[in-house]
Amino acid sequence: MRLDNMLLAEGVAGPEKGGGSAAAAAAAAAAGGAADNSIEHSDYRAKLTQIRQIYHTELEKYEQACNEFTTHVMNLLREQSRTRPISPKEIERMVGIIHRKFSSIQMQLKQSTCEAVMILRSRFLDARRKRRNFSKQATEILNEYFYSHLSNPYPSEEAKEELAKKCSITVSQGVGSTITVSQVCHNFS
């Protein structure tokens, strides 16, 4: 159920055959927003469309294979019913087994599709959300301080002011009393 909900939310699966393309566009727009990222948005949408097409192609293959296999097994059972009695319950039970097996295969398809969407989101959308508040030089200075003070990464007030001057930032920008240098280094590098 959770996989189905995610596929619906991402626009991969939907009531229409092509998947929820409107939902996919809405998800992409909600995740990004800036006009300067239109190239990345178009790349994201193209790859999401590709995932959607692969998902629906594979889903159709599984449904077709399930129907063909079910028909084959039912024909075999009908042939065998000439030599031994086969009850309708037995046929129903076999069809149920086949459908459960193919349902588990479909579940694997849904899971791998969800994983592909999550990887796509992390590559395109989440990467744009990361902010770089500090210059490369400032990050290097803060990293150097952090690694040279691993035993006590909390800078004193004087050290904070000195680091802020070296990095050309204010104390409240990142070397404040509530933020440790380790947090600054790991969050902004």
pLDDT in tens, 40-84: 678 888 888 888 888 889 989 999 999 999 999 999 988 888 898
- Please state, rounded to an integer, the average pLDDT across all residues of the chain: 75
What are the tens digits of pLDDT across the range 166-185? 888 888 776 643 344 444 44
Q: Which long-range contacts (CB under 8 A, 24 or more apart) does 124-132 make?
A: 124/40, 124/43, 124/44, 124/47, 125/28, 125/31, 125/32, 125/44, 128/32, 128/34, 128/37, 128/40, 131/188, 132/188
Regarding pTM above 0.75, the answer is no
What are the tens digits of pLDDT across the range 5-19? 777 777 777 654 444
Distance CA 67, CA 94 (A): 13
User: 7: number of CA atoms within 13 Å, CB side?
Assistant: 25
